[in-house]
C-alpha cells in the first residue's frame, strides 16, 4: 500500500466517487475543444453551451464548474513564451487601433490621424508619429524619420500583414511590396512579417501601443492641436519623457539602455533617405506642357519637344522629365490641381516676350527712364498718366526705352526734351525726331546763335559800360 500514489489510494477508499469524478472529467474534456471553438462565434455564450451539456449529461457539472473547466483549458492554450531579444536585431512596427486628432483652423473640422508606433524589443526605445493617412508613401516617410530618430539601421523590420507592406499574405512566404523591397535595399535591412492573426509575433510593439494610450494619448488629448505639425510636436515631447523615464523595477530608462547596448550595433544610415519614385508617360501638348495625372498639374518642357512622348519620374518633392533616357527638365512638385509650372527658357522667343511684357509695371519703366535722364522719365510719366489702364501704355514705354540702343541715351534724352512742350507725346514723334536727326539740327542751330562772333561791326559790353559811365559823370 505504501507504493500506491494518492489517486490509487483514493480509489481504494472512495471507489464510487472516484469513478464518478473520472467519468465526468472524461466526458467534459472531450467536449471542451469544440465548445471553445464555438465560443468564437457570434451569439454563442457559455450558458448556452452548459445547457446543451446538461441535456447530454443531466448528472454532469454545475455551471460554475463547467465554466472553470473551459477557462482552465483556454489558459493552458494561451501559454506564452519568453524570448531573449538581441540588441539591434529587430524594429517592430504597427499602427495603433485608436487615432489622434487636431482641429483645422480654416474649416473647424476635426481631422483624425492614424498613429504609427515603432519599438526596439531589446531596449524598448519607442518612436511614435501621427500621419495624415496610412498610404504607403506616408508609411515610408515615417520609417525614414524613425530610422533618423534611432540614428542607425537594425538588421530587420517586422510588421503586421499591412497592405502597405504585403501584397499577398502567406504564413510561410508572404509577397512583399516592390516599393518596400526597394526601401529594404536602400537601407540594407530585411523585412519580416508576423503570422496572420498572431499579434504576439510582435509582442513588444503591441505592448507599447497600450503604453502609448496611457502615456501619450492621455496627455495629448488634454491639449488642443491645430495642425499635424503641432500634434507631432506634442507627441514628441511626451515620447521623450517616456523614453528617458526609468522603467518599472529597473534602474535604467529605455534611452539609456539603447545608447549603451543597442545603438553601437545599428547599421549606418545612407547619405539620403529613401524616396518613392513613380513613373508616368505623357505626350507634350502644343502648349509645351505635360500633365501629371496624379495631381492634374501641368509642367513645362522645352518647346522643341512638342508632340514627343516623355517619361515623368516623380516623388513627393520633385518631378523629373526624361526624353529617350535623357533628363530634359526638373520641376519642384506642385499639388495645385489644374495649375501650371512653367520655366521661361522653355518658351519660344515670342512667348518669352509676351511673358516679359505681362510682368512689366509702371515702376519698372520709370526706373529705366531715370537712368537715361529726367526728360525721358517725364515723358514716360506723361504717357503712363494718359491712360486709365496703364497696361495699355507698356508697349509704348518699351519702344521709347529701346530707342537708346539704336540712337544712344544722350540723343533720346534730347528728343524727349524737344517733345515735352508739345501736347503730342508719342513713340512715333520721338522716333521721327531721331530718324530725321532733328535733335542734331536744333543743337547745331543753338550753338550757332549762342556762339560769340568778334568783328569790327559788333561792340562788346565794354562800350556800353563806357557810355553809361560818361552819361553818369555829365550829370
144 and 185 both lie in a single domain: yes
Mean pLDDT of 206-227: 91
Q: Is residue 272 part of a domain?
A: no
pLDDT score, position 282: 93
Quote the cell numbers at residue 245: 523615464
Last residue within a domain, chosen from 292, 325, 348? 348
Cα separation, 22 vs 30, whole angstroms: 12
- Whether residues 155 and 179 share a domain: the answer is yes
DSSP conformational letter for 135: -
Local confidence band at 421 (pLDDT 50, 70, 90 cut-offs):
confident
* Cα–Cα distance for residue pair 270/203, rounded to 1 Å: 29
pLDDT in tens, 330-359: 998 887 788 888 888 888 877 766 656 556
Whether 418 shows a pLDDT value over 50: the answer reads yes
Pairing status of strand 318-323 against strand 326-332:
antiparallel
Q: Give how far Cα 459 sits from Cα of 285, 449, 472, Å.
A: 83, 17, 20
Determine the Cα–Cα distance for residues 233 and 371; give it in Å rounded to an integer. 53
Q: Are residues 285 and 397 in the same domain?
A: no
Asked, for residue 83, whether it belongs to a domain, the answer is: no
Pairing state of beta strands 110-113 and 100-103?
A: antiparallel
Domain that includes residue 288, residue range: 278-348
Provide the 8-state DSSP code for 192. Answer: E
Whether 309 and 407 share a structural domain: no
Q: Are residues 332 and 380 in the same domain?
A: no
Is 20 a member of any domain?
Answer: yes
DSSP code string of 285-346: -TTSEEEETTTTEEEE--GGGTT-EEEEEE-SSEEEEEETTEEEEEEE----TT-EE--GGG
Cα-to-chain-centroid distance, residue 59: 69
Tell me: do 323 and 398 sit in the same domain.
no
Most confident of 13-22, 181-190, 230-239: 230-239
Whether residue 103 is found in the same domain as residue 227: yes
- How many beta carbons lie within 10 A of that of residue 164, not counting itself? 17
**pLDDT tier, 291 (very low <50, low <70, confident <90, very high otherwise):** very high
Look at residues 34, 66, 71, 25 and name the one whose alpha carbon lies nearest to residue 47: 66
Q: How many domains does the chain have?
A: 4
Same domain, 155 and 198: yes
Same-domain pairing of 156 and 16:
no
Do 284 and 310 contact (CB within 8 A), yes or no?
Answer: yes
**What does the alpha-carbon distance between residue 403 and residue 435 come to, in Å, rounded to a whole number?**
10
Q: Are residues 251 and 171 in the same domain?
A: yes
Please tell me the predicted confidence (pLDDT) of residue 1: 57
Torsions phi, psi for 93 (to 5 deg): -130, 150
334 touches 349 (CB < 8 A): no
Residue range 424-442: mean pLDDT, rounded: 85
- Same domain membership, residue 200 and residue 290: no
pLDDT tens readout for residues 377-417: 999 998 888 876 666 787 888 889 989 988 889 999 999 99
Amino acid at each position: 500500500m505504501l507504493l500506491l500514489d494518492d489517486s490509487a489510494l483514493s480509489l481504494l477508499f472512495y471507489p464510487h466517487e472516484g469513478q464518478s469524478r473520472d467519468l465526468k472529467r472524461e466526458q467534459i474534456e472531450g467536449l471542451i475543444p469544440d465548445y471553445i471553438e464555438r465560443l468564437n462565434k457570434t451569439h454563442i455564450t457559455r450558458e448556452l453551451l452548459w445547457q446543451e451539456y446538461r441535456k447530454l449529461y443531466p448528472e454532469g457539472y454545475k455551471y460554475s464548474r463547467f465554466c472553470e473547466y473551459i477557462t482552465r483549458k483556454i489558459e493552458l492554450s494561451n501559454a506564452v513564451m519568453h524570448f531573449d531579444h538581441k540588441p539591434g536585431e529587430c524594429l517592430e512596427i504597427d499602427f495603433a487601433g485608436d487615432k489622434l486628432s487636431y482641429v483645422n483652423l480654416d474649416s473647424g473640422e476635426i481631422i483624425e490621424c492614424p498613429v504609427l508606433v515603432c519599438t526596439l524589443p531589446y531596449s524598448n526605445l519607442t518612436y511614435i508619429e501621427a500621419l495624415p493617412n496610412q498610404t504607403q508613401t506616408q508609411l515610408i516617410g515615417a520609417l525614414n524619420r524613425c530610422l533618423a530618430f534611432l540614428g542607425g539601421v537594425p538588421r530587420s523590420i517586422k510588421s503586421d500583414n499591412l497592405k502597405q507592406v504585403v501584397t499577398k499574405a502567406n504564413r510561410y512566404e508572404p509577397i512583399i511590396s516592390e516599393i518596400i523591397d526597394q526601401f529594404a535595399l536602400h537601407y540594407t535591412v530585411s523585412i519580416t512579417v508576423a503570422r496572420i492573426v498572431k499579434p504576439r509575433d510582435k509582442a513588444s510593439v503591441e505592448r507599447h501601443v497600450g503604453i502609448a494610450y496611457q502615456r501619450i494619448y492621455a496627455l495629448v488629448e488634454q491639449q488642443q492641436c491645430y495642425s499635424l505639425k503641432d500634434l507631432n510636436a506634442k507627441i514628441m515631447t511626451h515620447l521623450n519623457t517616456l523614453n528617458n523615464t526609468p522603467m518599472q523595477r529597473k534602474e535604467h530608462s529605455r534611452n539609456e539602455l539603447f545608447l549603451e547596448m543597442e545603438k553601437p550595433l545599428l547599421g549606418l544610415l545612407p547619405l539620403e533617405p529613401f524616396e518613392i519614385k513613380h513613373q508616368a508617360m505623357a505626350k507634350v501638348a502644343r502648349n509645351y506642357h505635360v500633365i501629371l495625372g496624379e495631381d492634374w498639374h501641368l509642367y513645362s518642357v522645352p518647346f522643341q519637344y512638342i508632340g514627343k512622348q516623355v517619361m515623368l519620374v516623380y516623388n513627393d518633392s520633385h518631378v523629373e522629365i526624361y526624353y529617350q533616357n535623357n533628363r530634359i527638365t526638373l520641376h519642384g512638385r506642385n499639388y495645385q490641381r489644374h495649375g501650371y509650372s512653367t520655366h521661361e527658357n522653355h518658351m519660344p522667343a515670342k512667348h518669352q516676350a509676351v511673358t516679359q511684357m505681362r510682368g512689366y509695371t509702371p515702376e519698372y519703366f520709370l526706373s529705366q527712364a531715370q537712368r537715361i535722364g529726367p526728360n525721358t522719365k517725364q515723358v514716360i510719366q506723361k504717357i503712363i498718366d494718359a491712360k486709365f489702364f496703364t497696361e495699355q501704355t507698356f508697349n509704348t514705354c518699351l519702344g521709347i526705352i529701346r530707342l537708346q540702343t539704336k540712337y544712344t541715351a544722350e540723343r533720346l534724352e534730347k528728343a524727349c526734351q524737344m517733345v515735352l512742350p508739345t501736347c503730342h507725346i508719342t513713340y512715333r514723334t520721338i522716333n521721327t525726331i531721331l530718324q530725321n536727326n532733328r535733335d542734331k539740327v536744333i543743337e547745331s542751330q543753338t550753338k550757332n546763335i549762342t556762339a560769340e562772333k568778334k568783328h569790327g561791326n559788333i561792340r562788346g559790353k565794354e562800350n556800353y559800360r563806357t557810355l553809361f559811365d560818361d552819361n553818369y559823370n555829365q550829370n
